[in-house]
Amino acid sequence: MHEHIRRAVAFAVLAPVGENVERILYSYAENRRAKMSGNRSDFFDHDAGVRIAASKAKLYHYGQWGYIDLNVEADKFSGYDHGSKTHFEGVIKGPLVQLYDHGEKRYFDYAAEEPTA
């Protein structure tokens, strides 16, 4: 999976359902921060310059023009990226997300931070 797909999944599982928020998502693997804003069903990745919208258990990534299946149950999630044909799964620990990318065969960690003024 591409980094911006993993980042979109991380924001989606952390974002509230109806309330719009702005967060900085830190990728430990990339040692990089990306601004994200919106809610779980419609958000924008400012770093990639792309919108991601949800319908039921699917995200549509307008940058990749592809679907991402996403199932969230309490503090766990799983899904499938149709673009890379890769399964993923992970856990949510407060503002932290740990995602296992089956295609890369490794874990990726993300942290949501409040934007600074």
Spatial distance between the Cα atoms of 6 and 89, rounded to a whole number of angstroms: 10
Task: State the pLDDT confidence band at 23, using cuts at 50, 70 and 90.
Answer: very high
Strand partners, 7: none
pTM (global) more than 0.75: yes
Q: What are phi and psi of 33, to 5 degrees?
A: -110, 145
Of 114, 116, 96, residue with least CA distance to 23: 114
Task: State the pLDDT confidence band at 68, using cuts at 50, 70 and 90.
Answer: very high
Average pLDDT over residues 9-31: 94
Q: Quote the percentage of the chain above a pLDDT of 90.
A: 87
Spatial distance between the Cα atoms of 43 and 3, rounded to a whole number of angstroms: 16
Spatial distance between the Cα atoms of 116 and 6, rounded to a whole number of angstroms: 23
All domains of the chain, ordered by start, with CATH? 3-113 (2.40.128)
Dump pLDDT digits (tens) for 36-67. Answer: 999 999 999 999 999 999 988 899 999 988 99
